[in-house]
Each structure stands twice: as structure tokens, then as C-alpha cells.
Amino acid sequence: MSKNPDGKQIKVGILGATGTVGQRFITLLAKHPWFTIHVLGASSRSAGKTYAKAVMWKQTTPIPPVVRDMIVHECHSDHFAECAIIFSGLDADAAGEIESAFRSADLAIFSNAKNYRRDPSVPLIVPLVNDSHLSIIPQQRALQNPPLKKGFIVTNANCSTTGYVIPLRALERAFGPIESCLVTTMQAISGAGYPGVPSLDIIDNVVPYIGGEEEKMEWETLKILGGIADGDDGVKTFDMHARHPLRVSASCNRVPVIDGHTMCVSVRFQQRPPPSPQQVREALVAYTPEAQSIGCPSVPVHAIFVHEEPDRPQPRLDRYYQDGAGVSVGRVRQCPVLDIKFVVLANNISIGAATSSIINAELAVLKGVVKVE
Amino acid sequence: MSKNPDGKQIKVGILGATGTVGQRFITLLAKHPWFTIHVLGASSRSAGKTYAKAVMWKQTTPIPPVVRDMIVHECHSDHFAECAIIFSGLDADAAGEIESAFRSADLAIFSNAKNYRRDPSVPLIVPLVNDSHLSIIPQQRALQNPPLKKGFIVTNANCSTTGYVIPLRALERAFGPIESCLVTTMQAISGAGYPGVPSLDIIDNVVPYIGGEEEKMEWETLKILGGIADGDDGVKTFDMHARHPLRVSASCNRVPVIDGHTMCVSVRFQQRPPPSPQQVREALVAYTPEAQSIGCPSVPVHAIFVHEEPDRPQPRLDRYYQDGAGVSVGRVRQCPVLDIKFVVLANNISIGAATSSIINAELAVLKGVVKVE
Amino acid sequence: MSKNPDGKQIKVGILGATGTVGQRFITLLAKHPWFTIHVLGASSRSAGKTYAKAVMWKQTTPIPPVVRDMIVHECHSDHFAECAIIFSGLDADAAGEIESAFRSADLAIFSNAKNYRRDPSVPLIVPLVNDSHLSIIPQQRALQNPPLKKGFIVTNANCSTTGYVIPLRALERAFGPIESCLVTTMQAISGAGYPGVPSLDIIDNVVPYIGGEEEKMEWETLKILGGIADGDDGVKTFDMHARHPLRVSASCNRVPVIDGHTMCVSVRFQQRPPPSPQQVREALVAYTPEAQSIGCPSVPVHAIFVHEEPDRPQPRLDRYYQDGAGVSVGRVRQCPVLDIKFVVLANNISIGAATSSIINAELAVLKGVVKVE
Amino acid sequence: MSKNPDGKQIKVGILGATGTVGQRFITLLAKHPWFTIHVLGASSRSAGKTYAKAVMWKQTTPIPPVVRDMIVHECHSDHFAECAIIFSGLDADAAGEIESAFRSADLAIFSNAKNYRRDPSVPLIVPLVNDSHLSIIPQQRALQNPPLKKGFIVTNANCSTTGYVIPLRALERAFGPIESCLVTTMQAISGAGYPGVPSLDIIDNVVPYIGGEEEKMEWETLKILGGIADGDDGVKTFDMHARHPLRVSASCNRVPVIDGHTMCVSVRFQQRPPPSPQQVREALVAYTPEAQSIGCPSVPVHAIFVHEEPDRPQPRLDRYYQDGAGVSVGRVRQCPVLDIKFVVLANNISIGAATSSIINAELAVLKGVVKVE
């Protein structure tokens, strides 16, 4: 079992512990080599009950014994004071206030909610892509009143954004800026939480619309793939890929699949001539994000697994490979309109949600951004 | 009930009558105002049996009484000599030889099979788009040895091609040539016939590959949307949209939907500035193909129905509208990479298959290409 | 088009018009030969809007033009005073009070809600089974304070009960009392309304439990198949099949099917020896309920359609046969434990819901229970 | 890791290695503590290729490295001479001859095929139920010509039979003979193999018929739950539960579920009064088959897991619990017609297929029926 820098167990708390994302956090953290679940937070309706009583458990593995009898607390920072790390699986309507209050209490929050993704001092981190954005955190702390010593918010991206920026990042690293990208998604129902999509709306159907999703993908991609600009005044800003403008067009669809977002992606490179499909395949296979080299325990062996079979990846067959912590790419071929097209599969509830937050926290520990006492 | 030009019942035969497409032909033709089912052809395994005994009926309406006790014949042209029109729902492995033999017997074939779609003297007709291509038929007859008086083959397009070339045609008519088009399909299982897609491959899954489908869409689109060039030698050739080269990139996916292909389409026009989304919507609503103005009885009121709701069209709700004889378009909006993007839904077993063949035959009757005695 | 006794159009109102059952009422009544939709009632949230604006329409046919611009009213009896018949598609939490208030206003209500099904003066009528129970209505009117002249409540049964009591009734008519019945259901998601069953709960799944459903089936069956006893004091009571006690055991399951409840039924007759499978088949085919002989326009030609193929009925293929107004039975065979077993398919949203209410109203008109002015 | 009696690795072969059941055998055996995959057999079409080339792999985990480059052989016993155990995942049309030939070559076969289940000298063993039937094997060997020293055939039961005989056995052990049993199944598509059920037949559908399945369940149950009678002549015969006749009525349905057969079971005991639901629950929880006490490594901790929640077991949530090696029971309650009813879930591809064969082999090793050299 891998060791964290100090060889200590790190106490973590989970906000929204009874929800869909919270259940995933618990499933993953219960077997984590570094992190120990210390406090569970949920709504006042759940507070005071044991976790087993409070939750409507919907995972395919049983409730981990370690949390079964833990008493659920309300999401007040007092209960979480001993936690070095807080994972937030809160819904957007609750996350805004609670995460802000927790940060004010000098706590380190890794949030799956969308509320602070567009905040100019909050990094939006896909752990296999842009962990370098953690460098904004000192500025985030300094901007709080009073300035913080340890607290911050790190967000991870929308589940559909997460999947396809990983291969885009690999391609930009190998071949330079991408100029335009057209992506059509076929997204799983679990992306909408629980109860989420009514069965009458999706069995034997496709819904070619997910409210706000296309805008999120088009905007988040720029923040994630862009860099951080240092102003003359010493102020850092996310540059939104501005030095090489990147146009993104997303079309988002819901399909009757339980887990796993499949995406058809076409890209055009700035570089002429563009790379060949074979060069693209090799670059994807070779891609090694820092989270791998630095030793994050939840990072998969293959950040990007490239399929050679013509009909892969498929969500049902490939979504749980490597516990869903990497992405699968297949069908790399020429695009008659742009340059190259391919198919991406990302497990929306793993790398697209809780797993991202956890690897972000591992990165923050290894880079000393989280202070482990 | 509408009248054909001569007010007579027209005898028709059906090849492949026991197959999936054949069953659709029978369902539609049993209530057709002009056409009378006269002969049913199928494999030697079915020949000699009543239709009810020969078929494994899979439609949601019962076998029409008019064919129930009809004896099925082998697909030899002798049995079909009295038919003014032959509809072919044959599989590709049988269609090549049989359709050729029927044409040699001076019969008029409207085929749903792919075998002759690329033949330079066979028109590939989507009835709401390019019925003008029927003008190649005299040349096709002249090329046979001996030359034919009445016989010919007309094909209709692949089910996925059919759906999206209808709005493309409407847009080219209104705004001039389209320069490039990127289409991602989410195709129904019925497009693969019966038994077709194994359930283990598609429940809770997406298969991002349909063998040969992308090539068909990319090629057929050019033949259908292109014109016919008259050579100096009087020879007509399909120009494949060559005067204004059109680049098409198709990504084809199978999804767990029974009927109805959904497609996300992005287009770039030659015309600068391109039309606005509102202009595109209006052009789609206004589109009136010749099959409507000329009075084909199977043509729908709305060739293209444009939805205003943000989440439509959806296959389960919209595929049977107008008996699936038109197409639905929704979500017309700007594309950040090309110009305009939208969603198309086409019923693959209606306008994408048997209904196309039938309207093609209606067009041929009204234009005098089929000789009704 | 069939005529009602007086050849007049009969004005009807619909309560819960924007809900799932309400949408079905509208779809069916918009083309009804006798009934004219006169008023639409819904919650205060919808009141004042046009129907098209108020409803989230989920049917596969468009909103009927006749109601599109009709203004929706709150469910107060004042708005419905001109209606000879009120159809109620209200949810159980609203139906109790509103239906009672409407009855007090001397209105005739045909309700799909469960609230009054167990009321000892309210008939629970499956129209192809026990329309004779309408005879309780004078007593129901007399019990109100003040006694009513025209008003009453008639309920129809639970969607799962409805389907299987029709063949049970046919068997009792032919072979005398059934002694015990074991039924296992596989119920469609539309039975739970909208949004109803979350897709995460039912795709690739079976839920072997539907709250309260088994109790409803076991109890309602006795009320429906039982008779009405006349007490010495002139008071009529539902006898709950008491003269020949009938034991019913129901196991209810939810399956990923859009429409159509499939049920495996085993019965034991009192009569020894029991009828043979062939006798049972013949009795089912021969069954002619009064609603057919009396001329209800919405009654199907085949109250019970008996399939001979070994693998039928199937919901996807058979649920829309006869607009879902009859039931399908197949696989009639011996049961090694009880006497006879078979499979029933009933369309839960047609004969299992709105269609039942409508035929009940037709019966009440033809029998003079509803006064048409 | 558990030890086999001799602490040696045991070489095993797999027949039908490229098929659905074969793939499951490989997935399970690749990580088995005792058994080492030594030879793979398949049809002549696959022979000579590496396994990776020969197979169309459909599991959700990758092909185990240990077999990836193994050369596939034809199913001739010569290639398997070194194997102490042969697992057969052959289809029924091939299994008859091949398994017989292998037995004649003095090999020990554990077969998932149905061919020899009704053979009076072949035991039909559900490993958590009737491993005592291994005692017939000396007689089976003696009946061969020439008599065998080591060879034999052991079969496991149909996937649907397997699941429900486990709780039936637990109930008979606790409360004495069951007199009658009515079972209605909702079976997963994977039970039909690959390609198996066409998607057009099962999406949004239930098929209330599986050819031969009801007969198999009704017959196999008697052989499995019955004993072995010793004749005066020393000949053993399976008594088919004859001392206490047991009537079984099965109704089998296919539902759109990938893996996991759900069954609604009602039983009547001979013992009067019958046990209460609570007594039944306790008996199910307490059930400890010999395979557990004797130490088979593939046996789960809970042979029968009893759910208390009202809506469990469900296939999607519970089928992979304990790797699918046990069964889940829920909703134990009184049956108004028989005595007790409950719901069983069994993973048809684990305990219902390959896992059963493997535990049977473990039992045979531990009991010395298989000779390990």
C-alpha cells in the first residue's frame, strides 16, 4: 500500500454523504490508503441518524462497515474541524453557502459541485490534466477576509468535460494548440443524480438536450486547457486558452445507459499538416500526467487506454476498467471536415466525479498544498 | 382517397416479403390508395406456404387480412409479370442478382437494398429531396442489353442518410451550397433488421460503430444532393456535388432505441455571412418538396417539422408523427466551430426505408416513368 | 359513428387534465363519438393558462387541437356545472376532497383514483366485468346529505387488477367459482405515473415490490368478482365473493417496459374435474361482456384476444391492439399445482386506466344512470 | 489462499473456451487458488489461433494475461490428457458427443451443458444443495465399457433451477418436505448466451416463454432435491423426491435485464401448521451447505443472503454480491394460497453456470472423487 509523504492517516470529511456522489466518495474512501473517513455531513433530515439509517444506499457493493454506524452530522464546520480534507458531494443549491462557510473556517474543500468552477481564484482541476492550476491557491487564500492559512476550494469539472479534456490535453502536449473541437456526447443517466431522469423519459429514447451542459463543456474546457497568466501586478488569472483561441462546439444527449459517457470528438490542430491518426494514437498511449509520475495512489496505470478494435470503447464493457479512473479512446481516424476524429468513453461517476476529487486531494497532499499535521 | 393519374388500381409485387422491410411494405401497401399487393416473393424456404405460415410477423399491428392467405412465391420474375411495380426489401446478399434479373425481365424495381446505389445509371432517390434524378432512367434502360422499354431499378438511400439530407436539401435550396457537414448519429436497433443487434450488445450500452455506415453516409449524401451533368456526348452523370465540393464527416453510433435515428448535425455554408438560426428555422418550415406539390399520397403534410421546445425531437415521442413519413428538426442554434447546428430525427423504418420506396414509386407514376396500363 | 341514446353531444369535464391520466383522457375523448370535452381542471399552478401552456405533454400524438387553447380551471365544481360527466385523473392526495365536493354538487364522477374504491356505497367497476354494480348508485345517492339526484362516484380498478379480472370473470361465468388464484405481475413503468420510476431504479433491473399493489389486487378482485347482497333491511352490500370464498395471492414486480402489464396467472376451480386448457381457451374467446352487447362505442371487438403462438402475448407487440381496450391471453396450459395457468397482458394506461373510466361512463349513459339532458 | 488437500496446483482444461460460459470459466479460473488453466478447447474454427485472436471477448474485465497467448485446440481428448479436471462450457449440440468421448478417455468432466442431466447415472449437482449425489459416480464408472478408473461426468443445473432450489433445500432441511411449489421467473438475457436474444425482441418488452425452460425447472428440481435410493440389487437410483411427492409449476419469462434471474416463489409444506415467515427467514439465514463446512474456496460466506428491505433483492444492485456465488432472498411473507412466498435472485452466469461447475469440482477434489496426482 502506497504511503503519503508523512506516512500518516489523513482525516477526511464528506459533505452530502447520503447523496449519489457522497455514496461514491464513501465507497472509494473506505478503501483508500491515506484517507480515513472521520465525519459525515448531510442535511438536517439525516443528522443524528446512523449512516445506514440515513442513506438510501444505491451502490452495487454493500455499505462499508466503517461508516455503517457513524452518526451523520449537519454540514457545519465545527463538526469537521479535525479534518485535513473535506470532500463535497453537495447539490448545487446547497454547495454555495456551505462550501464558502467551510473555507472561511480555514478548511480545505475538494468539491464536485459546480458553484465555484467559474470563480477567478478557484482552480477547476481535472487531475490527469491541469494540476498545475493548484498554484492559484495562495492567491485564493490571500483574497479571503481575513486571509486563510490552510483553507481553499478546489473544484473538479463537469462529468462530460472531464472525459474529453484528458485526450485533448494529451494531443496539445504532443502536437501543440488545438484550434477547434466539435464534440457530441451520449451521456449516462447517472450523470443526473438520483432520482434524476424519469424512466418514462429515457427508456427506448434519446433526449438531445441537457440543460446548461453544452455551455459548461464549452467554457470549462477553456479554463482547464488554458494556462495561468501572471499580471504585472502579480495577480494570476486563468487565461482561458487565449493565446491560441480554441473554439469548442458541444452537443449533449442523454441515452439509456446507466454509467459511462461516450463522446464523438473531432479536432482541428493549429499545426499544418496535422498529425496522422497513427501519431495521434501513439501520443494518447504515451500520455503520462503528473499525477502518475508523482505517485497519486488512485491514478490508473493507463491514463488513456487506446482500443484497436473498431467497435470500442463501449460503456457497458469498458466503463469499470481500472475502476473507471482513466478514460478509453478508440476509433482514431481522419475527419473529412476537421483533422482527426475519435471516440472517448469516461466513467462519469468515477473520473467524472468522486475519483477526480480524490486524486485532486492526493495531488494537493503530495504538492504540500494541503497541510497534513 | 387520392386518385392516381388513371384512376386504376396498380398491381405491385414485394420481394423479400417475409423480412423486416417486407413486413413494413405490406403494412403500408395494404392500405395504399393506388397500389394493390398482387404477388409476394421470398426465399425458397417460404415459397408455397401462405404468408401467415411463412412469416415471423413482428409488427405491432396484425397481418393485413389481404395477404394472410396469399401464397408466397420464389423471387422469379415469371410470377411478377403482371406487376407494374416491384418493391424490393431483399437483403444485400440476395438483392444483387434478383433485382438485376427482374430488371432484365423489363420490370420496374424500387429497391431498399444497397447493391445498386453506387451504379452510375441507377438513381439514389430520397423522395423529399432529389426526385429529379428519375431523369437518368431512359439512359439506364438504354444501357441494358437488349435495351428495356419499362424496366429499371430505383434505389432509396441508407436509413441514416435519408433523414439528414432532407434538411440539408432545404438549406441548400434557401441559402446555396453547404461547404461542410459534420453529423453524429444515434441509430435505432431496427436499422439492423432482425435478428440484428444482440440484446447483450446494446442494453445499457452504446456501440460507437456500425460497419460501412459512415462511408455510406459520406458518399450517398454527395450523390443525392448533387446534380446530373450532361456530357458533350449526351451521357448523363451524377456530379457528386462537384461544382461546390461538400465535405461530410459522419460518426455513427448504435443506441438502445427501437425505432428512430437521432442525429446531431453541424453545417458550414459557402455563403458569408451564413444565415441566422431563425432564418434556418424558417427555411426548414417552408421547405416544400416536389413530392408534396405533385400530390404523392404518402407524403406527409410537414416534410420537415420544426420543434421549438428545447428538448425535442425525441425518438420515442416523435418517431411515429405523420406515420414517420417526414423528419423532425429541433435545437437549431449557432455552432461555435461551423455555422449552424441542429438535431434531426428520422424514422428509419418509414421515411428511412419502405415509405421512401413507396413515395418514389408514386413519383414515378405521377411523372410517367412507370407505365400504368 | 355510433349514436348515444339521445343522439346528443354530452359535455364532459376532466379533473387532473395535465397529469398522465388526464392526458390519456384528453387523447381518447377528443375523438369520442358522444362526449365533448367542455372543461379542463387542474391545480392552481395551471389555472388560467391555456392547456398547451399548462401541460408537459408526453403522449406520442400531438395535443388535440380542440383543447390546445382551452383555458385550464381550478378543480371547483362551479366551473363544471354544465358537465353531465366528470372524468377524474386526479392523484390520490387530491382526489379525496375534490371528488367528494363534486359529488356534493350533484355531479357524476368517473374516477381513476383509488380513494373511494373501498367505499361500501361506491362501485368499483371494470367495464368488461361487473357493470351490474352500477345498481348500487341509488343507494349511494340516498346516503348523501342532502340526498343527490344525479351525482355519484364510480371508480375503476387498479391497472393490474383490471387486466386479470377480465379473464377470471370469463372463467367463472363458464365454469363456476374459482377457489384460488396466484398471480405474478410484471408491470410497466407508466403505471407509476410521471415522473414515476427513476431510470436508475429500473433500467437493466426488476424491482420485486410495488407499495400497496399486492393488497389492492387481492382486495379489489373480491369486490369486483363478487356480487351485491340485498339485506333484509333493503340495504345492498358488496359480498366480496363470500358465498364461494376466493383466495388470491399476488406478487407484483416492476420491469423496464413502457406500457403494458404482463401477468402469470394460475387458478384452481371449485368444479372437479376442472376444465381442460382447450375448454378454458374456448370460454375466453367466447366471453362477451354486457358492454359489448349493449353497444358501448369504446369497447373492443375482442374483450379477450386469445393467442395461439407459444410466446405471446408480449407487451411491445400486443399492447396497442384494439387501442389497448381489450386484454390478451396466451399460453393456456395445465398447472401442476393448481388447475390451469396462463399469461395475461393488459394495457395499463388504456383498459387499465382512462379507457375503463370512459366505458364505465358509456355504460352509465346507456343504462340511464347518467341523466343526459 | 486456501490449500487443496495436497497443496498442489491442479491442471484443468476448458471445453468451449471461446463461448459465453467458457469466457466465464476463464475469468474465474485465472484467479483460482487451486486450479491452473492448462488447455483451452474450442471448435475447429478457433483451433490453432491464440486465445486472444480466437475469442470475441465480451466480459467487463480484460482477457486474463495467462490465457491471452495460449493456443486454442480442438476438443479432442488427446490434448487434455494431463488435465485432472475438464470444465465444459460447450453448447448442447456439441456437448453430447464430446463429453462422452472425453469420459471414455477416463477424464473427469464438470459440464454446464444440459445433455447428460437426465442420465440416470450422472449426478445433477447444485453445489450448495446436493453434493451428496457425487456418490453415484462409482456406479457411473462401472457402467462404462470398459469401466473407468477416473473418468466421469458431473452436470450442474439449469441457471433458473439452480437459484431457487438453494432456498428450497434450506427449507426442507429445516421444516421437512415441501409439497408444492409455484415459481414465476424473470430471467436475464445472458441466460440465452450470445448472440442469444435479439434486441428487437426484448427492449421495452417481456417474452413470457423460454423454450423447454419450464419443463427443465419442473424436472430438475425433483432430481436435485430428491435422494438416492439403494436397490436390492445394489443399484442406486435417483428417487425424484418420490417418498414425498413434490409438485412444481414453473412459469418462465425473459425480461430486459443483463444478468440475474429474479423469481417469485410460493411453497406449501407438508408440515401443518407451516412455519411462519420469521421461522423461514431464520432457516434461510442459518443454512450452511456442506460446501461451506468442507472448505470449498469458491463458496460464498452467505449461501443465502436474506434481505430485510421490502424492495430487495434486485438484479442490478444484488447480482454481483459475493461474486454472484450465493443467492439473495427477500420479501419472505405469507402466501394466501399456499403457505409462504418470497423472492429469489440468482446470478445466472455465476452460481447459475460456471461458478457451480467450479464448486462442484472443488467438492469432488475435497471428497476424493477427483484423483489429484
Q: Quickly list DSSP for D27-51.
A: HHHTT-SSEEEEEEEE-TTTTTSBH
Chain C residues close to B318, C-beta within 8 Å = 60
Indicate which residues of B carry an active-site annotation: 159, 261
pLDDT at A1: 43
User: Chains with ≥3 Cβ pairs under 8 A against A?
Assistant: B, C, D
B184 vs chain A: nearest CA distance in angstroms? Answer: 7
Euclidean distance between the first and the last CA atom of chain A, given in angstroms as a whole number: 21
For the segment A49-58, what is each residue's pLDDT rounded down to a tens digit? 999 999 999 9
Question: For chain A, where are the E strands, in sequence order?
Answer: 10-15, 35-42, 73-74, 85-88, 108-111, 152-155, 178-187, 228-230, 236-238, 247-254, 261-269, 304-306, 327-334, 340-346
Given a cut of 50, is residue C365 above it in pLDDT? yes
pLDDT, position A2:
55
pLDDT recorded at residue D1 = 44
What are the percentages of helix, strand and coil residues in chain A, rounded to 5?
35, 25, 45
Instruction: Answer whether the bond into residue B310 is a cis peptide, omega within 30°.
Output: no
Cβ contact D295:D366 at 8 Å = yes
C-alpha cell at D314: 434486485
With beta carbons less than 8 A apart as the criterion, state whether C152 and C99 touch: no
* A199·C201 Cβ contact <8 A: yes
Say how many CB pairs under 8 Å bridge A and C. 56
* Model confidence, pTM: 0.96
- The answer to whether A65 contacts chain D (CB < 8 Å) is no
Grid cell at residue D203 = 427492449
A206 at the C interface (CB within 8 A)? no
Distance between first and last Cα of chain B: 21
Q: Where does D160-347 sit in CATH, by number?
A: 3.30.360.10
pLDDT band (50, 70, 90) for residue D118: very high
What is the H or E stretch that residue D236 is in?
strand D236-238
| A292-306 pLDDT tens trace | 999 999 999 999 999
User: Which of B30, B14, B10 has its CA nearest to residue B357?
Assistant: B14
Chains that touch C (3 or more CB pairs under 8 A): A, B, D
Residue C215 has pLDDT above 70, yes or no: yes
- Our measurement of the distance from residue C134's CA atom to the centroid of its chain's CA atoms, rounded to an integer in Å, reads 14
Identity of the amino acid at C373 = E
- Which of B:69-98 have CB within 8 Å of D? none
The residues with which A252 forms a beta bridge, in sequence order, are A185
Question: Tell me, what's the pLDDT at C3?
Answer: 61
How far is B10 from B82, CA to CA, in rounded Å?
10
pLDDT at D124 > cutoff 90: yes
Query: C231 at the A interface (CB within 8 A)?
Result: no
Count of CA atoms in the C-beta half-sphere (13 A) of C46? 22
Pairing relationship of beta strands A10-15 and A35-42 according to DSSP bridges: parallel
CB–CB contacts below 8 A, A to D: 23
What sign has the CA pseudo-torsion A164, A167, A173, A175? negative
Return phi, psi of residue C309, to 5°. Answer: -60, 145
Q: What's the mean per-residue pLDDT of chain C? A: 96
Q: Do C256 and D256 touch (CB under 8 A)?
A: yes
Closest to B167 measured CA to CA, from B355, B347, B326, B348: B326
With contact defined as beta carbons under 8 Å apart, do B170 and B284 qualify?
Answer: yes
Rounded to 5°, the CA angle A135-A138-A144 comes to 140
Neighbours of chain D (3+ CB pairs under 8 A): A, B, C
> What was the pLDDT predicted at B185?
98
**Considering chain A, what percentage of its residues have pLDDT values greater than 70?**
98
- For residue C1, the model assigns a pLDDT of 43
Q: Check residue A97 and give its pLDDT.
A: 97
From chain D residues 333-352, the ones with a CB under 8 A of any chain C CB are 335-338, 341, 343
Cβ-defined contact of C180 to D257 (cutoff 8 Å)? no
pLDDT-based confidence at residue D2 (cuts at 50, 70, 90): low
Using CA atoms, how far apart are residues A89 and A87, in angstroms rounded to an integer?
7
Segment C154-183 shows an average pLDDT of 97
Q: Please tell me the predicted confidence (pLDDT) of residue A8.
A: 76
Residues B190-202: b if buried by 16+ CB within 10 A, e if exposed: bbbbbebbbbbbb
The mean predicted confidence, pLDDT, of chain D is 96
Strand partners of residue A344 = A263, A329
CB contact under 8 A, D338 and C205: no
Could you report the per-residue pLDDT of C23-39, keeping only the tens digit for each? 999 999 999 999 999 99
First to last CA, chain C: 21
Amino acid D36: pLDDT: 97
Q: Which residues of A touch C190 (CB under 8 A)?
A: 200
Q: Over chain A, what is the mean pLDDT?
A: 96
Handedness of CA A59, A63, A67, A68 (dihedral sign): positive
The DSSP-derived string for C85-121 is EEEE---HHHHHHHHHHHHHTT-EEEE-SSTTTT-TT
pLDDT of residue C372: 79
The CATH number given to C10-158+354-366 is 3.40.50.720
* Mean pLDDT of the D98-126 span: 97
Q: What is the pLDDT along chain B (373 residues), one digit of tens a residue?
A: 456 667 778 999 999 999 999 999 999 999 999 999 999 999 999 999 999 999 999 999 999 999 999 999 999 999 999 999 999 999 999 999 999 999 999 999 999 999 999 999 999 999 999 999 999 999 999 999 999 999 999 999 999 999 999 999 999 999 999 999 999 999 999 999 999 999 999 999 999 999 999 999 999 999 999 999 999 898 999 999 999 999 999 999 999 999 999 999 999 999 999 999 999 999 999 999 999 999 999 999 999 999 999 999 999 999 999 999 999 999 999 999 999 999 999 999 999 999 999 999 999 999 999 988 6
Q: Is the pLDDT of residue D373 over 80?
A: no
Average pLDDT over residues A17-44: 97
The share of chain D scoring above pLDDT 90, in percent, equals: 96
Chain D residues with CB inside 8 Å of B196's CB?
Answer: 198-200
Contact C207 D317 (CB under 8 A): no
Residue B121 forms contact with A (CB below 8 Å): no
B341/A205 Cβ within 8 A: no
Q: Are A171 and A164 in contact (CB under 8 A)?
A: no
**Residues in chain A closer than 8 A to D322 (CB atoms):** none
Q: Is B203 on the interface with C (CB under 8 A)?
A: yes
Please give the Cα distance from D208 to C329 (Å, whole number).
Answer: 11
Residue A253 has pLDDT above 90, yes or no: yes
Are D198 and B199 an interchain contact pair (Cβ–Cβ within 8 Å)? yes
Each domain of chain B, given as residue ranges in start order, spans: 10-158+354-366, 160-347
Q: How close does chain A come to D61, measured CA to CA in Å?
A: 7
Bridge-based pairing state of the strands C261-269 and C178-187: antiparallel
- Give me the amino acid identity at A361: A
Q: Where are the alpha helices (DSSP H) in chain D?
A: 20-29, 51-54, 65-68, 92-104, 137-143, 159-175, 199-202, 213-225, 277-286, 290-293, 315-318, 355-366
- What pLDDT was estimated at residue A3? 61
Enumerate residues 6+ apart whose C-beta is below 8 A from B68: B50, B51, B52
Query: Which residue of A164, A179, A197, A337 to mutate against B (max B Cβ within 10 Å)?
Result: A337
3-class DSSP state of A132: helix
Q: How many residues does chain A have?
A: 373
Q: Is C185 exposed, middle or buried (0-12, 13-18, 19+ CB in 10 A)?
A: buried
Question: Any idea which residues of C carry the catalytic annotation?
Answer: 159, 261
